[in-house]
Amino acid sequence: MSSPSKFVAILNPDYEPVVEREMFAKAGYQLIVAQCSTDEETIAAVSEAEGIIDIYCKITDFVARNIPKCKVIVRAGVGYDMIDVKACRANGIQVCNVPDYCTEEVSDHAVALMMMLQRKLMQHFQFVQAKKWDGMLVGEVRRLNALTLGVIGFGAIGRRFAVKMKEIVPNIIAFDPYLDDGYFQKIGVKRVGVEDALLNSDLISLHCPLTPENYHIISNDILNRMTRKPIIINTSRGGLIDQEALIKALEEGLISAAGLDVVENEPNVPQKFLTMNNVIITPHTAWYSTDADLEDRTRSVEDVLRVMHGENLSFIDA
């Protein structure tokens, strides 16, 4: 008699999961691919699955309580904001993510956005396109090594960004409530409180997860108190910034520029952003390189299989 089929699932992928299907098939698992928009659809899709790779599907407490065969959920990415981790673990489901697969890419992207905006490259190009060969048309450009860079969130990506920027902007201050002082000292970065970092920086880069505590950490109140007219970069989560408040601050000249790889309610970008020549928006692509993509996908499969084989997950941070 043949053994019963073993199933795993991948939820809401925006690509064809060829790599995942091949890896699971080799291990004796059949891959279910599903697009789910409600709890009921999710539960129905994964009712037979022992493991789940979650791309863009909300895993709620209700879902966690109604998928009894599931042993593990791997978030194929950095954040946990779409998974109720506590509920999953309370129902015997192990949860992990792949937090470091794109550290180089995201930190590179943040550097690129910062440099492009501070050197006003987009405005220069627009003037050249208009056949205006005059480097003074963009207005004042300040010397980078005389400025202060504030890093909000000093995890792996924030630290790597700081290392890359250190040669360009020696004076770096950073906020992170969870790390020991040694992480800051090793790189030569001054540890400060969140308001100190936001109010005393000429350049600000956000590298923190989206949590209830830091939702709209860039708020109307904090923007109105910024006197240094900083450039703000966000390659983390759109919900860290109150978009309407940022638009208002840009219009009033309280903020010099903004580089956003993420926005709230993606892919819906406020029209006002698209009319501003001191705003750059990229489509949540800071994570991407062919190398990072393959690493994320293969490591997600490997962690599901680890649990299936009775082994420990490679990384747990929540």
- DSSP sequence for 124-157: HHHHHHTT---TTTT-----GGGSEEEEE--SHH
Helix axis angle for 156-166 and 103-118, nearest 10°, is 50
**Structure tokens that stand for 58 in this block:** 């909300």
The single-letter code of the amino acid at 313 is L
**Structure tokens that stand for 116 in this block:** 């492009």
Closest CA to 203 of 243, 167, 237, 174: 174
Distance in angstroms (rounded) separating the CA atoms of residues 215 and 269 = 18
Q: Whole-number mean pLDDT of the chain?
A: 95
Distance in angstroms (rounded) separating the CA atoms of residues 174 and 52 = 36
CA angle 297, 299, 303 (to 5 degrees): 120
Structure confidence by residue, pLDDT tens digits, 177-217: 999 999 999 999 999 999 999 999 999 999 999 999 999 99
Neighbours of 221 (CB within 10 A): 10
Q: Collect all residues with Cβ–Cβ distance below 8 Å to 134 and sequence separation of at least 6.
A: 127
Structure confidence by residue, pLDDT tens digits, 277-295: 999 999 999 999 999 999 9
Give the HSE-up count for residue 258: Cα atoms under 13 Å, Cβ half-sphere: 29
Question: Is 80 exceeded by the pLDDT of residue 4?
Answer: no
Q: Is 50 one of the catalytic residues?
A: no
At 5 the pLDDT is: 78
* Catalytic residue of the set 244, 252, 266, 311: 266
Place of tokens 């939820």: 11
Question: Is 90 exceeded by the pLDDT of residue 3?
Answer: no
Q: Could you tell me how many residues make up the chain? A: 318
Place of tokens 């400060």: 192
Neighbours of 205 (CB within 10 A): 30
Q: Is 284 one of the catalytic residues?
A: yes
**Looking at the domain that runs over 103-281, which CATH code has it been given?**
3.40.50.720
The single-letter code of the amino acid at 266 is E
At 106 the pLDDT is: 98
Band of residue 162 on the pLDDT scale cut at 50, 70, 90 = very high
Band of residue 104 on the pLDDT scale cut at 50, 70, 90 = very high
* Catalytic residue of the set 216, 284, 295, 302: 284
Strands (E), the chain: 7-11, 30-34, 49-54, 72-75, 94-97, 148-152, 171-175, 190-191, 203-206, 231-234, 257-260, 279-281
Helix axis angle for 18-26 and 290-308, nearest 10°, is 30
Contact (CB, 8 A) for 120 and 277:
no
Band of residue 1 on the pLDDT scale cut at 50, 70, 90 = very low
Structure confidence by residue, pLDDT tens digits, 213-224: 999 999 999 999
Fold of the CATH domain 7-101+290-308: Rossmann fold (3.40.50)
* Catalytic residue of the set 75, 109, 207, 237: 237
Band of residue 317 on the pLDDT scale cut at 50, 70, 90 = low
Average pLDDT over every residue of 125-142: 97
**Structure tokens that stand for 165 in this block:** 């920027």
Structure confidence by residue, pLDDT tens digits, 44-101: 999 999 999 999 999 999 999 999 999 999 999 887 889 999 999 999 999 999 989 9
Band of residue 2 on the pLDDT scale cut at 50, 70, 90 = very low
Start and end residues for every CATH 3.40.50.720 domain found in the chain: 7-101+290-308, 103-281
Question: Is 50 exceeded by the pLDDT of residue 232?
Answer: yes
